[in-house]
Structure 1
């Protein structure tokens, strides 16, 4: 486990981010960043040693403001967990420009801008850990734009690695996780299989970050099926067919 490190965690008030804070706070210096002030206050009450910073990352220059806050306190950052994310579950034909831009800004631009600032400002080695998604590889019906945004940050990371040989960037590809994510994505949203516990995902993220892995797959099931599908390419379309049945049922329930 990490010890004595300066750690920033975004999306820290709930879900995977909250579990990361819980697992890391006792032996490290942690700044928890989230837009939900109430949840941040509750987290601070439970874990008095952490620092909290409330900010909506959709605001212009929000990423810069996070770094201003951090560098006023610390000279350097050891680990930055860019975990904040946003999704909307619906037919692609129903999504408007605002929803599209919000999803891409939080899921792709914010971690990309975080990477830029870290590279330019850090005077010591660091690791940026970005929460992507299994949907970067396998899109799920109802998550068209979310899947596209996660595929975008995946390809951005791959592109960064082609331009330089230093190893400082880790991407994480969780499957469905038991968090408030799905309730925020829409009403009565069905969870895609397989489903993981947020604590287990957080443990896998930390383990992968410590080892300096470029890619972390918290779900053994998804990782295995991803590999098997290369030999038996019928698995992905079958999976998407089954998920589409859930989606069509949800559409009929929601829009009837």
Structure 2
């Protein structure tokens, strides 16, 4: 199934999953508004895909969200699919993460997607839409070094589940990717280890688009992760073993960074 001739917003569009979304969705005559804080990379994206529109905004600020919806009102009137993909991580001990950094991370990873849902209902109450939020496999499995990030993504998961228990929620899709081959890790910290398993961004986005086209409310791009979850239910020693390996990576990284 395809997404064709739709009005689509993609946040975090200049790199990683967002950039690949723009790449794959541009091939199907969609109208795309790409949003990111990096003006230079947005310009490069525009050069590669001349038909897209873009806004350079800092989505750690709620006011930026209002600018997106003002643009939609002025140019499209309505949006069909909103990919709330912007976000980032910090790799560190929870004790070393400053309160300001934690607040900023929670704002863009959790609060802004929730406010996006509110704005969609406010601005187009009579027109159907789909909000697609990039969550994380860490919504289910914590990994040493990602305390704040895991908390922000688990918050999104519980938000979505609560909406569904209150009634409705067919308009909302959460995506739970595993570690993806992007510059996510470089941005999260210096020389940080990659959590196992790792999936290509092209594969993640292809599965995302297919799931959204089918109207799925939960998308797990990695079959490996789903198998791991199942195995852990049957063999509960698997998860502690996995987390011990990741803890060793974290301890080695901490030791190296303290000696730099």
**Same fold, TM exceeding 0.5?**
yes
Tell which deviates more after alignment, 150-159 or 51-60. 51-60
Map of 1:219 onto structure 2: 222
Partner of 1:62: 64
**Residue in structure 2 matched with residue 39 of structure 1 by the alignment:** 41
CA distance in 1 between partners of 2:131 and 2:88 (Å): 19
The structural deviation recorded for 1:247 is 0.4
Match of 1:128 among 131, 140, 163: 131
Aligned to 1:101: 103
Residues 214-247 of structure 1: per-residue CA shift (max 9 Å, x gap): 1100011001111221121111111111001000
Matching of residues 92-241 of structure 1 within 5 Å: 92-122=94-124, 123-241=126-244
How far is 1:66 from its partner? 1.2
Alpha-carbon shift at residue 14 of structure 1 (Å): 0.3
Match for residue 18 of structure 2?
17
Q: Does 1:82 align with 2:84?
A: yes
Q: Following TM superposition, where does structure 1 have runs of at least 4 consecutive aligned residues deviating by more than 2 angstroms?
A: none
Q: For residues 170 and 233 of structure 2, what CA distance do their matches in structure 1 show?
A: 27
**1: CA distance, partners of 2:49 / 2:14:** 12
> Within 2, Cα distance between the matches of 1:51 and 1:235?
46
User: Unaligned 5+ residue runs, structure 2?
Assistant: none
CA gap 1:166/1:175 in 2 versus in 1, 3 angstroms: closer
Unpaired segments ≥5 residues, structure 1:
none
Say which is worse superposed, 219-228 or 9-18, in terms of deviation.
Answer: 219-228
Alpha carbons of structure 1 residues 118 and 183: separation in structure 2 relative to 1, 3 Å: same
State the shift of 1:63 in Å: 1.1
Secondary structure of the residue aligned to 1:129 is strand
Assess if the C-alpha contact under 8 Å between 2:62 and 2:112 holds in 1.
Answer: no
CA–CA distance in structure 2, aligned partners of residues 30 and 167 of structure 1: 23
Which TM-score applies when normalising by structure 1? 0.98
RMSD: 0.9
CA contact (8 A) 2:160 2:169 kept: no
| Alpha carbons 2:173, 2:219 under 8 Å: kept | yes
1:166 and 1:58 map into 2 onto residues whose CA distance is 25
Deviation readout 1:124-160 (Å, 9 max, x if unpaired): 1111000000001001100001001000011011111
For 1:188, what is the secondary structure of its paired residue?
Answer: coil
| CA distance in 1: counterparts of 2:130 and 2:237, whole angstroms | 37
TM-score, length-normalised on structure 2? 0.96
Task: Please tell me whether the aligned partners of residues 163 and 169 of structure 2 are also in contact (alpha carbons under 8 angstroms).
Answer: no
8 A contact 2:84–2:133 mirrored in 1: yes
8 Å Cα contact 2:9/2:81 also seen in 1: yes
When the two structures are aligned, how many residues end up with a matched partner? 256
